[in-house]
Amino acid sequence: MSKLTLSPAWKALAAHREKIAAASLAGLFAADASRAGRFSIEAGELMLDYSKHRVDAETMRLLAALAAQAQLPGWVARMFAGDRINSTEARAVLHVALRSGETRFPESFDVDGRGARRARKHAPLRG
């Protein structure tokens, strides 16, 4: 098991999952008329609707606690900085460079002394 799955935040989330597992979506919607608005988010033309999953305010609080415990904001910053956070292959992950358009991703994104455009050109997506 990973350190994450042994952590207090993970265990709290797992315990909560046991409590909410029996809840029906119909019951969750009936109990909260604003559920669809509270458990969805839009960014541009993309909408993420997680209201149709067994989540509640406590689930979201526990997920935020897990992210904080895992130091997620720091890892995201390291990913965007091109740091070598892929510990298996000892390299930068390049997720943001591989999935961005040439015009949207700055050449200043540095990966081992190469700009992201050049690194992306030599690291195609697979399957």
Are residues 32 and 23 in contact, defined by beta-carbon separation less than 8 angstroms? no
CA Rg value for the chain: 19
The reported pTM is 0.72
DSSP tag of 91 = B
β-bridge partners, 41 = 48
How much is the average pLDDT of 37-54?
94
- Name residue, tokens 């030599």: 122
Convert the pLDDT of each residue in 71-111 to its tens digit. 999 988 888 777 888 888 888 777 666 665 554 555 555 66
| Distance of alpha carbon 117 from the chain centroid | 24
DSSP 33-49: TTHHHHTEEEETTEEEE
